[in-house]
Structures are given as C-alpha cells and as structure tokens.
Amino acid sequence: MDFNLSEEQLMIQQAARDFAQTELLPGVIERDEHSKFPTEQVKKLAELGFLGMVVSPEYGGAGLDNLSYVLALVELAKVDASAAVIMSVNNSLVCAGMEKYCNEEQKQKYLVPLAKGEVLGAFCLSEPEAGSDATSQKTTAIDKGDYYLLNGTKNWITNGSSASTYLVIAQTDIEKGHKGINAFIVEKGWAGFDIGPKEKKMGIRGSDTHSLMFNDVKVPKENRIGADGFGFQFAMQVLNGGRIGISAQALGIATGAYDLALAYSQQRKAFGKEIFKHQAIAFKLADMATQIMAAKMLCYKAATEKDAGQDITQSGAMAKLYASQTAMDVTIEAVQIHGGNGYVSEYHVERMMRDAKITQIYEGTSEIQKIVISRTLVS
C-alpha cells in the first residue's frame, strides 16, 4: 500500500501544522486550565474548510479524501486534542453520516451549514446505561403520526452546548430490538430539549461535554434519517468511520508528546551529558518512535481503505485500538523523560497524558474494539 503523500496532501498537512502552531498553541494551556471552548479557533477552522473536509463541494464541503482529513487531524491533535475532537465529531460522526444516508432535503437544510462550519453538530448515542451499546437505548421516540415524541437522556455528548444540530439515536419499537431503532435530526432550541451542565473532565477540557435531556420533544417525521428501523445500522456505520478520526487524534497526541520528549532529551543534561545519550532514555525514545510508526500505518491504512470504498470495520477498529494504546504509552513515557518538569503544565506533556486516556474510551472502549476485531476474524 502506497503512503507517499501527494503535493495536495502535503499542503493540507502543512496548513494544519501552521494553524496548530499559530492559532492553537498560544492559548492551549489556559483553555485546558479553565475548560474554555476554543470558539475563535473553531471559527478559523471553518474558514479553512476543516469542518467539512470530506464532504462534497456540492454540499459545502472541501471534497477531500480521508487521508487528507487524517493528516490535518493529526497536526491539530499534536498541539490541542480538544480542538481536534471538535473537528473530528463534526466531520466523522455528523457530516459523513449525513452525506451518505440523509435525503436531499435534509442535506440542503442541515448538512450544508455543517460542512461550511456555519454551525456545529453532535452525535448522540451514549446514555447513562448504554455507552457504545446501541442496542440498549432507553431514549424513546414514539410515532405520533406526523411527528415523533422524543424522551430520554444522552450522556457525554461532545459539542453538547456548542452544536446547533444533533443526530439522536432512539428506540421507536422495543419489541423489534435493534430493528426498532431510528436516527433523528434534532435542532437546538426545540421545546423540551434541555442541555445539562458542562462535565468536569480529566482531559480534553477545551471541548464541551454535556448531558442532553429530551422531554416530549416533537421531532417532525421528515427529520428521521432513512427508512423506519434504520437507526442501528446508521449508528454502526457512523461509528466505523468515527474510529478513524479517533485513531488520528490518538496518533497526533502521541506524536506531539514524542516530539516534545525528544527535544527535551537533547537539551536536558544529567551526569555530564544530554539525557538522550543515556541508553535508558534512548531506548524509551526508540520504543515510542516504533509504536507511533505502527499506529500511523494502521491509521493511514484505514483511511485509504475508506477512500477506496472498502469495508473498514476491521481496519478502523484496529487503528483505533492500537493508536489509543500508543497515545497512552507514549505520553506516560514523555512525562517520565521530562522528570519533575513533566508533572507541571508549562511543559504540555502532563496535559497530553490526560487527553490520551479518552481515546481509549470514546467511540467504544478498547475492549469493544477487540470484540469488533474478533468478530471480523471469523465472519
């Protein structure tokens, strides 16, 4: 598989790298400390076309390939994982699913402003008693003729308060099991739709994560995505694509931490020489670089297969599983290489270690990825 990047892909990568250094880096520590949403930075991401990268220009997107999307996302995550996940959710979980499965009227009304970055979107699957298990939905959408009556709670929703458009997965017929699940487009401000307080999180503090409450929210029939009972399949397909975004975020966190650790090891001296000249540190850096390269290849492979229209169930899960473990391993070692300095915020790596953990949790925990992978091995 050829991973030689095209001139256009290299330009996109460089543009994202420049943006991360000039726009994200200056305030990243403050945003983390105060759990501040990067409002101005997200607006500039929209201006660059990064919030609808893989959406066709017909619907307001940049019309780029998934590998270009991965390259850009990695560069953002090297510096600010919170900004990266905002971009990832809007692209992978919202825009991509809407372009593939929504009808033309829905695309014109909702997808176009999302792809242009005029508004943000959120994907609402997780619940208090159902994380990534879409078959255990307690949120209900009862068919009332020309509308559905939506009731329930969604938890841990990224872009929870900053979004304007929400893709909500709900059960319409419990007797049908997963075949009775539907996906709906819900707008902020509808009667009965309330947003809970912002979650206080260990990492990715710059992104806004909230619980959403639906109390007799009237959802027009035309806001259902696909045929009746399509919601489970919609959620599974969206999550498959979303794993590529999370693997790219994890890869970016790991790469950013490694770059800082490598640079620090060449500056810091101990026992009369730079610490990278000590075998104990040199071997850590070698292991970190090797893991990152392997994660990169898995991530690029999944993105390339998606561009080719292939089934990415296995490759996406493998990329997400390995890249998220790499992010944890590398950031822990980056803190260790920094020693006491690694434990304070100004050196960035302690934040990266906290941010890395979430990549093992959202879009399905590492254990769920192993279930997905193992099923593909015998299917």
Helix, strand, coil abundance in the chain, percent, nearest 5: 60, 15, 25
333 catalytic? Reply is no
71 in Cβ contact with 91 (< 8 Å): no
Name the active-site residue from 47, 187, 363, 367.
Answer: 363
121 in Cβ contact with 115 (< 8 Å): no
Residue 338 burial (CB count, 10 A): 22
The DSSP-derived string for 141-204 is: EEE-SSEEEEEEEEEEEETTTT-SEEEEEEES-GGGGGGGEEEEEEETT-TTEEEEEEP--SS-
Tell me 364's DSSP state.
S
Distance (Å, rounded) from C-alpha 331 to C-alpha 316?
A: 22
Place of tokens 């994200």: 24
42 in Cβ contact with 83 (< 8 Å): yes
Q: What residue type is 304 in one-letter code? A: T
Which among 134, 373, 120, 379 is positioned nearest to 239, based on CA atoms?
A: 134
Backbone torsions φ then ψ of 77, nearest 5 degrees:
-70, -20
Q: List, in sequence order, every residue forming a beta bridge with 186; answer none if it has no partner.
A: 166
User: Which three-class secondary structure state does DSSP give residue 70?
Assistant: helix
Active-site amino acid positions? 363
